[in-house]
Amino acid sequence: MTNKRVLFLVSLWCINCALGQAKEGYDLWLGYSKIQDSSISEEYLEIAQYVYVQEGTAVLDTAGEELKNGFEKLLGRPQDFATILTNSNTLIVSKRENLALNLSDRFTADFDEIGREGYILKSIQSNGNSVLILSANEDIGILYGVFRLLHLMQTGQKLSSINLVDAPKIDLRMLNHWDNLDRTVERGYAGFSIWNWQKLPEYIDPRYIDYARANASIGINAVSLTNVNANALVLTPMYLKKVTTLANVFRSYGIKVFFTARFSAPVEIGGLDTADPLDVNVQEWWNSKAKEIYGEIPDFGGFLVKANSEGQPGPQNYDRTHAEGANMLAKAVKPFNGTVIWRAFVYSEHDSDDRAKQAYAEFVPLDGKFLENVVVQTKNGPIDFQPREPLHPLFGAMPNTSQMIEFQITQEYLGFSTHLVFLPKLFEEVLDSETYRKEKGSTVAEVVDGTFKSKRITGMAGVANIGTDLNWTGHPFAQANWYGFGKLAWNPYLSSETIAEEWLRATYTNNPKFVEPIREMMLNSREAVVNYMNPLGLHHIFDTGHHYGPGPWVSELSRPAWNPTYYHNADVNGIGFDRTASGSNAIAQYSRTLEKIFGNLETCPKEYLLWFHHLPWDYKLKNGETLWNEMALKYQEGVDQVESMITTWKSIKPYLKRTQYEEVAMLLTIQLKEAKWWRDACLLYFQTFSKKELPLGVDKPSNSLDYFKSLKFPFAPGTRPRWN
């Protein structure tokens, strides 16, 4: 072959590659590739000889279109949709009120159970025909049911004997975008914001529709569009028009729009000289702002507010409480059924008390003081979305307040969009955690879904990992975190294993030779990242500002709580944050049972050891290792786990397209490099205190501590300029 020809072929291959890659991942879990197993598609065709879909409202029409599109792709040919019921095998997609009486009466109990958003999917026999019924009380239930049906088909499930009744356990299932109006995304690692503010309201990017579809398919019913470090401009008429357009797009998918309200907006854009929540002019300003918004968006969800934390303005600027601030906004949106989501992620850099204690100290005294349409949104752990944290002590500690949980789907502290980390494993661990606020029924999931104490509003929010990247989330496996978040918000008792399996099958293939090993790899990936970043309860030892990579040595920032050294407290005597009675006594914020468990070295889970205790380097763990050795071995284990992820990924190469395979293979290479970086940098640094050799089995560091300290990343993505 001539050189020219080789060159030509190579470039052709590259172009093909690029084209393949360009599209890879955009469809998320909704690719609906044609069912290969003909016995399965024949079953589906047999069941749905006719399809009757109720039409007539925006949401029902969306459901019909989704069904058509899904059927066509999965079955490989367009399906006839009948407008009248026929006497043959039929799929009936119809609301309860539109079903024949004999059918709707048959399922009365189910209909009573599924509420506004649930659905039933049942296969029955009627006049010698088999009828598959998808029904719901409301339009949105039909849409959710359609997505479920398509998912079942996509994953090859039998429908002939299906008997399914499903409804969400949580009311507000919400994404929080930390998107700025200039389209940068705070802690975003997947490109720019998908909200094209400049071209809105006239230009409706088709992405908005695809985004809404994806969300509806996993039950997400609310989105907050803007960064919690808010810009008041979103409240101005120009931006409200843009928001209105988005709300109009999302409405057909059952999604409500919220945005963040900057507490000082009355001053910044309203011309007032105060934002004091007890000032009548301020109250009136917000009342009329709410009226203006609801005039444009009658189903506007409400405001999400970060106040008096990390420099954001809030009621405390005027010596008012969080409740007074939240209630003022709540009164403004109340006439329109709006909700105020008030964040409990509150700490002051001027407060020298343990940062882990500040939210509880601030909010518990306010229990019962918030108006009915206020929900307090609490992060899963008391510090800040670390690879592992114990549950936040606020869960179950505010029985008279609606309280929702906030997870972070974007991987600020878990390897950005480079590391493969399956977060539902983390979410599940938190949701399953016992608060012990009652004898039974007080896990975090039970607090969040209102089992613990019934609440006016229940909710779960996830900080979105979505951006303009072609595959939406940067890392293709980060899509699983968006997917899994939605699934758990719908049902917080689902297992991460089920979620991983569902996602893999919908996204890649049903082939068990692929699904089984990769499911295991996903399930282990979260523990791997904990091991190579923050083992044994270490936390917040990230490099400052951007949080990219290790920075346990950072100590020079002006406030103690901004410095990693504050969190690990390493010295020649040992390491860890003493949060027992001899230290900050943060354990006293938990129930008595948890206080005892965490406070006692005999019972404190190894995973939280250094979160709650400061221990000598040669402290003996239950497995016989010294603390120093165990820490070093854990760092090594994390690296080994990434090595074995790579081996697993190599083994499934035959089941994927080359581009799909290569993309993850390349990312795993970076993940391994960074896992080693974490191990080496942290161990070298902690070794300056422990003064001990690395135990057998731990690789020698590849570089010096000075080298690791010298690394600087001024352009790390997602950075927030002023805060660490």
Interface positions with ligand BDP (CB under 6 A): 186-187, 228-229, 306, 310, 345, 384-385, 412, 720
Paired tokens of 367: 């229990």
Indicate left, alpha or beta for 718 from its phi (over 0: left) and psi (-120 to 50: alpha). Answer: left
Q: Is the dihedral of CA 539, 544, 548, 553 positive or negative?
A: negative
Between residues 407 and 685, which has the closer beta carbon with respect to ligand BDP?
A: 407
Residue with tokens 């059927």, as numbered in its chain: 71
Between residues 217 and 465, which has the closer beta carbon with respect to ligand BDP?
A: 465
- Residue 322 CB, nearest distance to ligand BDP (Å)? 14
Phi and psi dihedrals of 260, rounded to 5?
-85, 140
Between residues 122 and 177, which has the closer beta carbon with respect to ligand BDP?
A: 177
Q: Which residue of the chain is nearest ligand BDP when measured via CB?
A: 720
Paired tokens of 387: 């690879």
- Residue 384 CB, nearest distance to ligand BDP (Å)? 5
Alpha-helical (H) ranges within 352-478 are 355-363, 424-431, 444-448
- Residue 342 CB, nearest distance to ligand BDP (Å)? 13
Between residues 96 and 355, which has the closer beta carbon with respect to ligand BDP?
A: 355
Q: How far is the C-alpha of 646 from the C-alpha of 649, rounded, in Å? A: 5
- Residue 546 CB, nearest distance to ligand BDP (Å)? 9
Q: Which of 345, 347, 350 is nearest to 358 (CA)?
A: 347
What is the distance between the terminal CA atoms of the chain, rounded to a whole angstrom? 57
Between residues 385 and 619, which has the closer beta carbon with respect to ligand BDP?
A: 385
Question: Which residue pairs from 542-548 have beta carbons closer than 8 angstroms and sit at least 24 positions apart in sequence?
Answer: 542/413, 543/713, 544/724, 545/716, 545/719, 545/720, 545/723, 545/724, 546/713, 546/716, 546/717, 546/718, 546/719, 547/412, 547/413, 547/716, 548/416, 548/713, 548/716
97 is catalytic: no
**Amino acid, single-letter form, for residue 142:** I
Q: Which of 110, 324, 412, 446 is catalytic?
A: 412
Indicate left, alpha or beta for 692 from its phi (over 0: left) and psi (-120 to 50: alpha). Answer: beta
Between residues 79 and 227, which has the closer beta carbon with respect to ligand BDP?
A: 227
Paired tokens of 38: 């003909």
β-pair type (119-126, 90-95): unpaired
Between residues 54 and 410, which has the closer beta carbon with respect to ligand BDP?
A: 410
CA–CA distances in Å: residue 92 to residues 67, 103, 318: 12, 11, 59
CA 389 to chain centre: 16
As a residue count, the chain comes to 724
Q: Which of 24, 268, 284, 310 is catalytic?
A: 310
- Residue 563 CB, nearest distance to ligand BDP (Å)? 14
Q: Which of 448, 235, 460 is nearest to 329 (CA)?
A: 235
Q: How far is the C-alpha of 545 from the C-alpha of 520, rounded, in Å? A: 33
Q: Is the dihedral of CA 232, 235, 238, 243 positive or negative?
A: positive
Paired tokens of 60: 């029902």
- Residue 170 CB, nearest distance to ligand BDP (Å)? 20
Between residues 206 and 721, which has the closer beta carbon with respect to ligand BDP?
A: 721
310 is catalytic: yes
Residue 38 sits at the vertex; the CA angle it makes with 33 and 42, to the nearest 5 degrees, is 100
Q: Which of 276, 384, 449, 637 is catalytic?
A: 384
Between residues 310 and 607, which has the closer beta carbon with respect to ligand BDP?
A: 310
- Residue 227 CB, nearest distance to ligand BDP (Å)? 8
- Residue 340 CB, nearest distance to ligand BDP (Å)? 16
Q: How far is the C-alpha of 463 from the C-alpha of 438, rounded, in Å? A: 30
CA 499 to chain centre: 13
Alpha-helical (H) ranges within 364-478 are 424-431, 444-448
Q: Which of 187, 239, 210, 247 is nearest to 464 (CA)?
A: 187
- Residue 198 CB, nearest distance to ligand BDP (Å)? 24
Between residues 107 and 345, which has the closer beta carbon with respect to ligand BDP?
A: 345
- Who's near 373: CB < 8 A, 6+ residues apart? 302, 330, 333, 334, 337, 338, 339, 340, 456, 457
Between residues 310 and 643, which has the closer beta carbon with respect to ligand BDP?
A: 310
- Residue 410 CB, nearest distance to ligand BDP (Å)? 9
Between residues 239 and 345, which has the closer beta carbon with respect to ligand BDP?
A: 345
- Residue 369 CB, nearest distance to ligand BDP (Å)? 23
Between residues 151 and 306, which has the closer beta carbon with respect to ligand BDP?
A: 306
Q: How far is the C-alpha of 488 from the C-alpha of 444, rounded, in Å? A: 13
β-pair type (615-616, 574-575): antiparallel
- Residue 463 CB, nearest distance to ligand BDP (Å)? 7
Alpha-helical (H) ranges within 218-315 are 237-251, 265-268, 280-296
- Do residues 308 and 348 touch, judged by C-beta distance below 8 A? yes
- Residue 613 CB, nearest distance to ligand BDP (Å)? 24
Q: What is the 3-state secondary structure (H, E, C) of 257-285?
A: EEEECCCCHHHHCCCCCCCCCCCHHHHHH
Cis? peptide before 201, omega within 30° of 0: yes
Q: Which positions are annotated as active-site residues? A: 310, 384, 412
